[in-house]
Homo-oligomer: A and B are copies of this chain.
Amino acid sequence: MRNRHLNIGLVGTGNVAWHLAPAFEDAGHRVVAVYGRTPKRTKEMASRLYDAEILDAPDFSGSGADIVLLAVSDDYIGEVSENVAVDNGCLLVHCSGNVNVKALWTGHTSEIGVFYPLQTFSKNKSVDFETVPFCIESSSEASAKMLVGLAESLGSEQVSEMDSNQRASLHASAVFACNFTNHLLVMSKKICEKNGVGFEMLHPLLAETINKAMEIGPENSQTGPAKRRDFQTLEKHMDLLKDMSEAQGIYKTLTESILDLYGERV
């Protein structure tokens, strides 16, 4: 089953579809048909592909697609899966971390699944799929194998099968590790800028923080004034942030949480 060349249908023209479509073709698959709500963008995407038909409705019957991927925003998945048409036996999947696989269960096909790449995609930045973990879920073993094979054919070195609850947890945990971390960096940069120091000075420390956390576990890597219960420094920082209420609020919440977590061990 692995490395079998597949015919793929695609709904959506966002960043995920944009990067996946040519990557599929580079891996030897064929994107047979595409559908998107924005005609211009759909045409643009099709122009990157070998010979994809542009559909004016999400009707993939007769297209020869083995798989139809819904690479659309979470709140649009339900609507598309109501309206999509696929041939009998075609596998219908979505690419969302957060939406239950059952959202695809609308009677159009018995084969449904999830093909979720755990990475952040930007249109103008190329994606190295070897480093992208994929989360797979499916209604049958044969379909799961097909999706695992598809992810592996892109070069991915981390392909995991998991259910919708696990995937939702992973998604929530990614919000902490990535979206919230980025927001901390926004605050960090604001503090630097307010005081005329270069934010880029923090890059090595940040890189080491991530490496250490991944090497020995974040629970063994905590440092800083809250961890060592250095209340003098904590007060000094709170005072230093007095004109930046947003940053001060975050400082307070996270400091209290660290004090709570390690307090009992002192």
A residues whose Cβ falls under 8 Å from a Cβ of B: 74-75, 98, 118-120, 122, 125, 131-133, 135, 158, 160, 162, 165-189, 191-192, 194-210, 212-214, 217-219, 221-227, 230, 232-233, 236-237, 240-241, 246-247, 249-251, 253-254, 257-258, 260-261
Contacts and interface: CB of A to CB of B under 8 A. Distances in A.
How many copies of this chain? 2
Contacts of A192: 169-170, 173
A165 B174 CA distance: 35
B209 A191 contact: no
B221 A246 contact: no
Contacts of A233: 74, 98
Output the residue of A167, A180, A225, A241 with the most chain B CB within 10 A: A180
Contact of A176 (B75, B188, B236): B188
Nearest to A230: B74
A218 B185 contact: yes
Contact of A237 (B119, B172, B212): B172
Nearest to A185: B218
Contact of A209 (B173, B178, B186, B232): B178
A84 to B, nearest CB: 21
A174 B205 contact: yes
A165 B197 CA distance: 10
Contacts of A221: 182
Contact of A120 (B118, B168, B223): B223
A44 to B, nearest CB: 22
Given A98-B233, A169-B240, A177 B186 contact: no
Contact of A182 (B132, B172, B200, B213): B213
Contacts of A224: 175, 178-179
A260 to B, nearest CB: 7
Contacts of A173: 187-189, 191-192, 197, 199, 202
B184 A180 contact: yes
Nearest to A226: B179
Contacts of A204: 118-119, 131-133, 158
A257 B249 contact: yes
B185 A169 contact: no
A241 B249 CA distance: 21
